[in-house]
Structure 1
Amino acid sequence: MSRTPATPTARQRLLSAASELFYESGIAATGVDAVLGRAGVSPATMYAHFAGKDGLVAAYLEERHRRWREVWDEVLAEEGDHRERLLSVFEALARYRRRTGDRRGCGFQAAATELPADHPGQVWLTADTILLSGRLLELARAAGADRPDELAADLLLLYDGALAGLARRATTPGALDEDPVGRARATARTVVDARLAGR
């Protein structure tokens, strides 16, 4: 017997609507009324779950961080080879985008340009940076790279470049690079091979 899917709660509907609108249109450009309209809830319901728009933005970034980490964890669990584990961030990015349907750049990079330093969402922007830099360094060390900090920094730069390429492609029809993630992964493989060959 098949189960009937559970009806999303008001909080889930709010978070889903906010996630779609903040990513599609930007945080500053998205008013609370647009989120309420898409979610089909009242202002009182929103304030019962979130401390206004700032709280909703922070929850959106927290949820995005959770989903991204889960995808990357999943990719790492499938891979035992040290070289492939170092490149896992690019496969995770491609897989995350397929699952979420993201067609623009990075939600974290976009939020970083919009949020003031004291915004409650900043904690999740920091968490994303710590996850990326810390995990890449850990993987570089595990692979036996002679300068793991430099290798991790190179990979992070290529990852950030791939995300910038995705944003450029989304806003510029006919942009030069049709597959910035694939190009970044191929370049990263060359860097990893060179670094590990010299260890």
Structure 2
Amino acid sequence: MNDLMTAEAPSDRDRVLEAADHLFYSRGIQAVGMDAVRSEAGVPLKRLYASFPSKEALVLEVLRRRSERWREGLDAAIAAAATPRAKLLAVYDVLDDWFHDDGFRGCVFINAFGELGAVAPVVASAARDQKHAFREQLADLVAELGAPEDLAPRLALLAEGAQTTAAIDGSPDAASVARGAAEVLIDASLTSA
């Protein structure tokens, strides 16, 4: 049987999420109305609201899926690295690949927090939760390396700063600069440990 025939077509919910993700990331959350999402997804407005009763619910699900995809991609890169040091540096390699993507517009969580953090506490909380999970993942890698625990927030700050710099400057080189700084920090922390 043909693989195309056995593959299920995306559900209305999935089409709405993909459309919202694309539109929110490329144009900004506040600039995109539910009708634009409906139009891009090709679903009736009634079905969109059956899956997502509010724009906030849609934004939260887009952020949840983005967090999941980020974690999966990062986990794969870390798993492919041979040493604890290489696992930490793989974070910056993932950023480098992402920053070179033609559609890169910065971190969706930083963008969402900037747009809605002051007026949508649940969106602010989702952004904070994702950043906290990233710092925790780095803390686990730092512990595996046997480096002092204060290395993790420093490496997280480098990664977050690289994301912001790459988006604002339009320079994918921010990842390689951050990677170089991470190497210096990792080596210095191991020397002092």
Instruction: Give the letter for the 1:7 counterpart.
Output: A
Contact 1:90 1:181 in 2 (8 A): yes
- Residue deviations 1:112-148 (CA, integer Å, cap 9, x gap): 1122465433443132112111111121122111x31
- Residue deviations 1:87-110 (CA, integer Å, cap 9, x gap): 222123334566x75421111100
Instruction: Give the letter for the 1:195 counterpart.
Output: S
Alpha-carbon distance in structure 1 between the residues aligned to 2:177 and 2:78 = 20
The residue number in structure 2 matching 1:184 is 178
CA distance 1:30–1:62, shift in 2 (3 Å) = same
* Contiguous gaps of at least 5 residues in structure 2: none
The residue number in structure 2 matching 1:105 is 106
- Equivalence map 1:30-109=2 (5 Å): 30-96=32-98, 102-109=103-110
Give the count of matched residue pairs: 190
Residue 51 of structure 1: SS of its match in structure 2? coil
Alpha-carbon distance in structure 2 between the residues aligned to 1:75 and 1:50 = 33
Alpha-carbon distance in structure 2 between the residues aligned to 1:14 and 1:83 = 40
* Identity rate, percent: 35
The residue number in structure 2 matching 1:165 is 165
Give the TM-score normalised by the residue count of structure 2: 0.90
Shift of 1:159: 0.4
* Contiguous gaps of at least 5 residues in structure 1: 171-176
Alpha-carbon distance in structure 1 between the residues aligned to 2:32 and 2:192 = 50
The residue number in structure 2 matching 1:16 is 18
Alpha-carbon distance in structure 1 between the residues aligned to 2:141 and 2:191 = 16
Residue 14 of structure 2: SS of its match in structure 1? helix
Alpha-carbon distance in structure 2 between the residues aligned to 1:57 and 1:15 = 9
Give the TM-score normalised by the residue count of structure 1: 0.87
Contact 1:17 1:35 in 2 (8 A): yes
Alpha-carbon distance in structure 2 between the residues aligned to 1:96 and 1:12 = 23
Shift of 1:178: 4.8
Residue 190 of structure 1: SS of its match in structure 2? helix
Instruction: Give the letter for the 2:80 counterpart.
Output: E
Show structure 1 runs of 4+ deviating over 3 A: 94-98, 116-123
Across the aligned residues of Structure 1 and Structure 2, the Cα RMSD in angstroms comes to 1.9
